Chain A
């Protein structure tokens, strides 16, 4: 069973996180202080750590920095009430792997955690991504579906690359907006949907089994048809 350490001082938020993670089949350890969290993170083996940015005894940034200094490479999802882009950049620079702003939808958190866990197992040196009969050449920047080349706009290419790198994972609209455009504001739900529907027309022409699937209420997933 995959183990997750949750460092969070607010019991209500902690409950939310634990419930969501447990329902997704994780074993969760919860600690309320930075000191205790640091001891656990260094002393035990976890698949992932969720870390509150503002803890009573120590700044979350200091926790992740210390962890990285002593050689702990466990992926860290930082969770914070500070939504500013600068705060986010600071969190990622200190060694966090992703940054989520409070309050958050639990499925948003799960989706991000899944992506972080997967990132560990993917070899980053692939020059070719492949899902079912869809191929993406990262060097020539060309995509093929069942051997036929797809004519993609730069944005569509980026979107497809992100989806393929995280194939099988639910990608929320917010995650896509961050990964493809690197923007961190809310453009309204329709913007990402429209880009996605353009991409789908090209990737999944009628008559072929659909690779991109809408996940109700959350986002999209790209995977081989069952």
Chain B
């Protein structure tokens, strides 16, 4: 599963970004329409006003014109309007426009110029200007400041800018903030499912209680897990029950055989087969006991009894225990201790686990081979290797060997039970350690890393499910 670390990739953020962008564009369009409409209206109005004035002054008697002009423009308190009266030669006669603007034809059509003509020092604005020729050949130039439209333009531009920044910045920030909680929930779901994948089927996905879509989904997964757990538990308890139920009649069988054995004198020809039958029955009983032991070890309440265990002492005891067996097969059985080490655990269970590993190594190593029991010290903690020069384990079989009853095919000729490694795995898991088959130059190398690590999913076939006895 991919980690969700980037807040920008969250669905909420993406949604908000799209929505924000859409909203921004819409706001620009809306304000543009308003601007365009308003400015159109204002310029139409200015043009109409100028036209009306021009018409009016054209109809005024030329003798009174200057007076009328002065009076009219005196009342223009906002100084929006200006005029200029020029004789037929184009010479300035009256008004605050000093010269006829270049390119302006006295045709009565207004034009927009980006400059002022009245000589005032007010901010430069665009000006609507118009010229007409009077009856006496004079030319009258009328102008009207179009600054209102400019200001409107600036106003609306500012509005768009603010509006956009107010939409986009909080939108993005909001997206990040809003995606925090969903991402926390996803992280919770992820860690729960990691634990489930690593074999803890009792875990369930957390629910937020809001009864939203994610909760629905988690609920569905949880119901599936309930069913999976129930089925696995059923399979497991059937297994355990078979082991339990068969053990008692087997014990009775063994008792019968034993009595028969006691009644048969050593020289009798039946003694051999009976002895073999007793040994076979013992072997069978041992398998059932081991099977039940694996189940027993999966109960985690045992951790309560954990204490400090001297690993060197444990390995020495194991070496001591198996040394005669190795000698019998003429194996070189070496104990290599890198230094003192201790772990938190159950001493007896650890001895049992390492005994199983060493017992296996001795069993699968041909005569005159080598077996090494090694304690190495790593920065993370102590590591125990059991190395042999036997037939080795194929890389593709290295995971499967820890399952119940699994045996490497080539070893089927060697007597023994495939349950040893399951017991090892159960004990190691109980301690939070890790056991795996590593590469070896020749033969096999089984390594137990004696430190707690977040377990990588390895065998999902074996379950940690509480046993009901």
Decide if B162 is an interface residue (CB 8 Å cutoff). Answer: no
Shortest distance in angstroms between B371's beta carbon and chain A's nearest beta carbon?
A: 14
**Judging by beta carbons under 8 Å apart, are B255 and A181 in contact?**
no
Decide if A86 is an interface residue (CB 8 Å cutoff). Answer: yes
Decide if B50 is an interface residue (CB 8 Å cutoff). Answer: no
Bound together, the chains give a CA A105 to CA B254 distance in angstroms of 7
- Find chain B residues with CB under 8 A from A181 CB: 317, 321
**Judging by beta carbons under 8 Å apart, are A83 and B296 in contact?**
yes
Decide if B150 is an interface residue (CB 8 Å cutoff). Answer: no
**Judging by beta carbons under 8 Å apart, are B322 and A191 in contact?**
yes
A61-69, A121-129, A182-190: which one contacts chain B? A182-190
Q: Do A185 and B251 form a contact, CB below 8 Å, given A86-B305, A107-B258, A198-B324?
A: no
- Pick the most buried of B248, B250, B293, B321: most chain A CB atoms within 10 A of its CB: B321
- Find chain A residues with CB under 8 A from B352 CB: 183, 185
- Find chain B residues with CB under 8 A from A218 CB: 258
B191-199, B282-290, B457-465: which one contacts chain A? B282-290
**Judging by beta carbons under 8 Å apart, are A194 and B305 in contact?**
no
For B, the interface residue count at a CB cutoff of 8 angstroms equals 42
Residue from B257, B261, B305, B359 within 8 A of A188 (CB atoms): B359
Residue from B252, B278, B305, B355 within 8 A of A217 (CB atoms): B278
Shortest distance in angstroms between B257's beta carbon and chain A's nearest beta carbon?
A: 8
Decide if A45 is an interface residue (CB 8 Å cutoff). Answer: no
Question: Whose C-beta in chain A lies nearest to the C-beta of B287?
Answer: A186
Shortest distance in angstroms between B329's beta carbon and chain A's nearest beta carbon?
A: 10
Per-residue CB contact flags for chain A residues 139-165 toward chain B (1 = under 8 Å, else 0) read 000000000000000010000000000
- Find chain A residues with CB under 8 A from B310 CB: none
- Find chain A residues with CB under 8 A from B290 CB: 186
Shortest distance in angstroms between B341's beta carbon and chain A's nearest beta carbon?
A: 21
- Find chain B residues with CB under 8 A from A23 CB: 259
Decide if B325 is an interface residue (CB 8 Å cutoff). Answer: yes
Shortest distance in angstroms between B263's beta carbon and chain A's nearest beta carbon?
A: 11
Per-residue CB contact flags for chain B residues 211-254 toward chain A (1 = under 8 Å, else 0) read 00000000000000000000000000000000000011011101
**Judging by beta carbons under 8 Å apart, are A105 and B266 in contact?**
no
**Interface set, chain A 172-226, CB cutoff 8 A to B:** 181, 183-191, 194-195, 197-198, 216-218
Bound together, the chains give a CA A183 to CA B359 distance in angstroms of 15
- Find chain A residues with CB under 8 A from B286 CB: 186, 188
Q: Do A105 and B251 form a contact, CB below 8 Å, given A85-B348, A186-B286, A216-B266?
A: yes
Decide if A106 is an interface residue (CB 8 Å cutoff). Answer: yes
**Judging by beta carbons under 8 Å apart, are B289 and A186 in contact?**
yes
**Judging by beta carbons under 8 Å apart, are B325 and A217 in contact?**
no
Decide if A29 is an interface residue (CB 8 Å cutoff). Answer: no
For A, the interface residue count at a CB cutoff of 8 angstroms equals 32
**Judging by beta carbons under 8 Å apart, are B324 and A106 in contact?**
no
**Judging by beta carbons under 8 Å apart, are A183 and B348 in contact?**
yes
**Interface set, chain B 315-354, CB cutoff 8 A to A:** 317, 320-322, 324-325, 327-328, 348, 351-352
Question: Whose C-beta in chain B lies nearest to the C-beta of A154?
Answer: B320
Bound together, the chains give a CA A20 to CA B255 distance in angstroms of 9
**Judging by beta carbons under 8 Å apart, are B416 and A216 in contact?**
no
- Find chain B residues with CB under 8 A from A59 CB: none
- Find chain B residues with CB under 8 A from A133 CB: none
Decide if B87 is an interface residue (CB 8 Å cutoff). Answer: no
- Find chain B residues with CB under 8 A from A83 CB: 289, 292-293, 296
Decide if B275 is an interface residue (CB 8 Å cutoff). Answer: yes
Shortest distance in angstroms between A113's beta carbon and chain B's nearest beta carbon?
A: 15
**Judging by beta carbons under 8 Å apart, are B258 and A106 in contact?**
yes
- Pick the most buried of A12, A83, A106, A187: most chain B CB atoms within 10 A of its CB: A187
- Find chain A residues with CB under 8 A from B359 CB: 187-188, 191
**Judging by beta carbons under 8 Å apart, are A103 and B251 in contact?**
yes
Question: Whose C-beta in chain A lies nearest to the C-beta of B255?
Answer: A106
**Judging by beta carbons under 8 Å apart, are B321 and A191 in contact?**
yes
Write 30 A-B pairs (CB below 8 A) sorted by A numbering.
A16-B252, A20-B255, A23-B259, A83-B289, A83-B293, A83-B296, A84-B296, A85-B348, A103-B247, A103-B248, A103-B250, A105-B251, A107-B258, A155-B320, A181-B321, A183-B348, A183-B351, A185-B293, A186-B290, A188-B286, A188-B359, A188-B416, A191-B321, A191-B324, A194-B328, A195-B321, A216-B261, A216-B266, A216-B275, A217-B275
7 tightest Cβ-Cβ pairs between the two chains A and B? A103-B251, A194-B324, A185-B352, A217-B278, A106-B255, A194-B325, A217-B261
B residues contacting A by CB (< 8 A) are: 247-248, 250-252, 254-255, 257-259, 261-262, 266, 271, 275, 278-279, 282, 285-286, 289-290, 292-293, 296, 302, 305, 317, 320-322, 324-325, 327-328, 348, 351-352, 355, 359, 416, 469
